[in-house]
Amino acid sequence: MAAAAATRLFLLHSSPPSSLPCPNPSPSSAHTPRPAYPRLALAHRMAAAPAAIAGPSGDSERDLSASAVSLEALGAVESSGDGLERKEPSVATILTSFENSFDKYGALSTPLYQTATFKQPSATVNGAYDYTRSGNPTRDVLQSGIDKFYHTFSLMAKLEKADQAFCFTSGMASLAAVTHLLQAGQEIVAGEDIYGGSDRLLSQVVPRNGIVVKLVWLESPTNPRQQITDIKKISEIAHSHGALVLVDNSIMSPVLSWPIELGADIVMHSATKFIAGHSDLMAGILAVKGESLAKEIAFLQNAEGSGLAPFDCWLCLRGIKTMALRVEKQQDNAQKIAEFLASHPRVKQVNYAGLPDHPGRSLHYSQAKGAGSVLSFQTGSLSLSKHVVETTKYFNVTVSFGSVKSLISLPCFMSHASIPSSVREERGLTDDLVRISVGIEDVDDLIADLDYALRSGPA
């Protein structure tokens, strides 16, 4: 079958290298030929992608980045040789059934390729990898996994129902890459109740480049006030004007929400949060729709050197396997805590989409499976809110969210402190607002902890 001119096909690890030992077959498998090692099936590489080195004529000499590979997503239903159909796997199954496709020894857990550069076969023959900035096997397991039937797919893209995904050194690094898709004079429209770091990037850094609407930037629910945005409707409006739509899905995770299905072009995650889940790494992920966007992001990731380091990829791969379990437990805890706070005499208002009186509840559940585990509440008194934050025993005073440990903060003094006080006031971000990221602890202990902190605080 002839390949299209714009596509080069590579077959990686089609057979075990001759220099490596081949496992001895067991008696039961002696007459059943099978691959000795996990391997990649045919993967579509983007010819002349920006991530490649350009020759004198501007043509691509070779593709440096394995992360620039455009891998086909595993189909919704797989057909077997006997004509039977396989059920589409759930998120929890996807998170534990992807395999490491680069290790030649059958390691169950992904090895850590902690190297800056790779030896090449010769001076004129290039290997699959040459420099970790451009590509690394550990990163590519996170960006591009392989299932038990040797179908290649992008793990994070499959979770987000996108076409390709890319891993960055932090959530802000991934967002910065998106802003570099725009040119001087083009505009960004963003919600007013967004993460403080995103607000700082858009209001203080991006204007330096002369970017003045080519991109619509959304969160839903918003952080920290839990406002709900109609992603589908906003996407339709934006696309009618030729604008891209980015959704920061960090607060939901791909366990609960899939903005690509609602019309978004780019989904961003601070993988530091729910994806990794243990507060031990910083990472950002972009899942994109369409080959053109994938090429541009691949180029920026390589050119700017913002790809996630191998060790952080390894930590993320370790954490992601339990994401579905963690998110489910955290959400169950958060629902009970929100209901408790809503009935507490010292709490004035609770912001959580899972509560029946939340004004955006119906819209939210039309585009997400659950309300997540981040919520906020107001006491009406800064001194009481400060006391609650500093008195709780099982809630750690820290920025961020999505950890297995419960976290608590005053956003106006921490995560959103970079927003001027006058602007925060206009947006309804009051100083007494307390944000909670609920962990996996026993929920009765967490409720008792909050109750004590509220009741023991100043009148």
- Residues marked as catalytic: 133, 195, 248, 273
Q: How far apart are CA 266 and CA 355, in angstroms?
A: 29
Q: ∠177-179-181 over CA atoms, to 5°?
A: 80
Q: How far apart are CA 95 and CA 81, in angstroms?
A: 25
Choose among 55, 62, 76, 70: nearest CA to 128. Answer: 62
CB neighbourhood size of 83 (10 A):
6
Pairing of strands 433-437, 60-63: unpaired
Q: Which residues have CB under 8 Å from 366's CB, separation 6+?
A: none
Choose among 68, 129, 143, 130: nearest CA to 100. Answer: 143
Q: What single letter denotes the amino acid at residue 272?
A: T
Q: How far apart are CA 23 and CA 20, in angstroms?
A: 9
**Pseudo-torsion of CA 296, 301, 305, 308, nearest 10°?**
180
Structure tokens at 102: 């680069």
Locate all alpha helices (DSSP H) within 304-432, ordered by sequence: 310-320, 323-342, 361-367, 382-391, 421-426
Enclosing H/E stretch for 269? strand 266-270
Whether residue 215 contacts residue 244, with contact meaning beta carbons closer than 8 Å, is answered with yes
Q: How far apart are CA 119 and CA 2, in angstroms?
A: 32
Burial of 229 (0-12, 13-18, 19+ CB in 10 A): buried
Structure tokens at 340: 């408790």
